[in-house]
Amino acid sequence: MPRTGRHGKGPVRPVLLVLASTYPRWADDPEPGFVHELCKRLTDRFRVIVVGPHAAGAKPREVMDGVEVRRYRYAPEALETLVNDGGIVTNLRRQRWKWLLLPGFVLGMLWAAWRCVASERPDVAHAHWLLPQGLALAVLGLLDRRVPPFLVTSHGADLFALRARPLQWLKRFVSRRAAAVTAVSAAMRDEMARIGIDASRVEVQPMGVDLSHRYTPDPAVPRSRDEILFVGRLVEKKGLRYLIDAMPAILQARPSAFLTVAGFGPEEAERREQVARLGLQDKVQFLGAVPQEKLPALYRRAAVFVAPFVQASTGDREGLGLVSVEAAGCGCPVVVSDDPAARQVFAETEATWVVPGDPGVLAQAICERLAIDACQVPVEAIMASVRSRFDWGKVAKGYARTLDMARSTAQ
């Protein structure tokens, strides 16, 4: 029977418990907000409760766009730095002392999730990332029958970077316990099959982009003929170092070109030092963290957007790369590394493809792209292609359907 509201007045929405580590700390937080973007689009179907880690300056509890957010403490506030500014895997690799934060992080998540299960009796749950969020729900499900069936979604770092044999076993354990499993790209489903997860149970469902309202073209904005744009976290797998290495060759062929870098992260100091070493201070501008609502203006004016993704030394690589979809949605031509995940985004003729980690090839591709008049790019066809697959309206409906199917396993 459906739940009824207080005093029995009609049915209420089923409760969806969401576990995530990357989540906005406040409105206009420049940290990746894809989990929240999905959650707020599910509030018409579910009462959505997100359990995530606390961070300095964030509220322990609040309602954001109709989503109930509950943040758990895992260390003194000044030390709650495991998640932000690069992500958990990057932070653990670059600052070894942060391994000391991991036990508190995991225990805090388990306790907060169990308290939510006990008090709210959710109907279904969604774990973003196999580890540790999926593992938390799998373990709690063994201990408490009230834990609902859950969907687990892999976004990339949990799959590609965490490669130790015991961790592979844990990923398989999580997938077996989950009522449904999704990956944001077909390349990730292939990786799941490689480590022994039953690929027939894995549905490919990307995260989305607001291609209906935010990331849209504006014919009134003149497009530069010289601006090269990079948007993303300043971490190894994003490949910014190779784009900066390509700049001297680009400038030799096109002296008026310049690079704009929008983003922040643990590599920022290294990339600034690289720019100074190459004498590019007048040709490379670092904007730092840019709020989501200001990104479309950058995409609309740039001559070309570059996504030079590479495989990091940890094995981590891009799960999907939605920044390239944002750029395409704004009508900006795209140069992207020839990566299996990127191949899911663009067809052969919809982007310029380059060999990952080769500055020479990257420079040549960018110069060729800058030499083409923008009106020669089939922008409308490319925008229609990405909109049909990545617009949040379509993506959210797909996740709602999967969550309903997962929920039905308990009925």
CA separation, residue 87 to residues 10, 23, 32, 67, 259 (Å): 42, 11, 10, 23, 25
Domain assignment present for 215: no
Same domain for 273 and 166:
no
Domain assignment present for 220: no
| 259, 247 Cβ separation under 8 angstroms | yes
Domain assignment present for 400: yes
CA separation, residue 235 to residues 2, 121, 133, 261 (Å): 46, 39, 22, 13
Same domain for 311 and 347:
yes
Same domain for 116 and 97:
yes
Same domain for 198 and 120:
yes
Domain assignment present for 236: yes
Same domain for 270 and 149:
no
Domain assignment present for 218: no
Same domain for 201 and 234:
no
Q: Report the distance separating Cα 205 and Cα 291, nearest Å.
A: 26
> Can you give the residue range of the structural domain that contains 264?
227-389
pTM listed for this prediction: 0.89
Per-residue pLDDT of the chain (411 residues; tens, 9 = 90+): 445 444 445 568 999 999 999 999 999 898 889 999 999 999 999 999 999 999 999 999 999 999 999 999 999 999 999 998 888 888 888 899 999 999 999 999 999 999 999 999 999 999 999 999 999 999 999 999 999 999 999 998 888 877 788 999 999 999 999 999 999 988 899 999 999 999 999 999 999 999 999 999 998 999 999 999 999 999 999 999 999 999 999 999 999 999 999 999 999 999 999 999 999 999 999 999 998 899 999 999 999 999 999 988 888 888 778 999 999 999 999 999 988 778 888 877 778 888 889 999 999 999 999 998 766 666 788 888 889 999 999 999 999 999 999 999 876
CATH number at residue 263: 3.40.50.2000
Same domain for 255 and 200:
no
- Longest distance between any two alpha carbons in the chain, whole Å: 74
Pairing of strands 124-128, 15-19: parallel
Domain assignment present for 216: no
Same domain for 265 and 336:
yes
Taking the CB of residue 330, how many other CB atoms lie within 10 A of it?
26
Domain assignment present for 267: yes
Domain assignment present for 201: yes
Number of H helices, E strands in the chain: 15, 14
Same domain for 133 and 11:
yes
**Domain count of the chain?**
2
Same domain for 35 and 53:
yes
Q: Report the distance separating Cα 395 and Cα 382, nearest Å.
A: 18
18 φ/ψ sector (left φ>0, alpha ψ -120 to 50, else beta): beta
Same domain for 381 and 244:
yes
Same domain for 399 and 369:
no
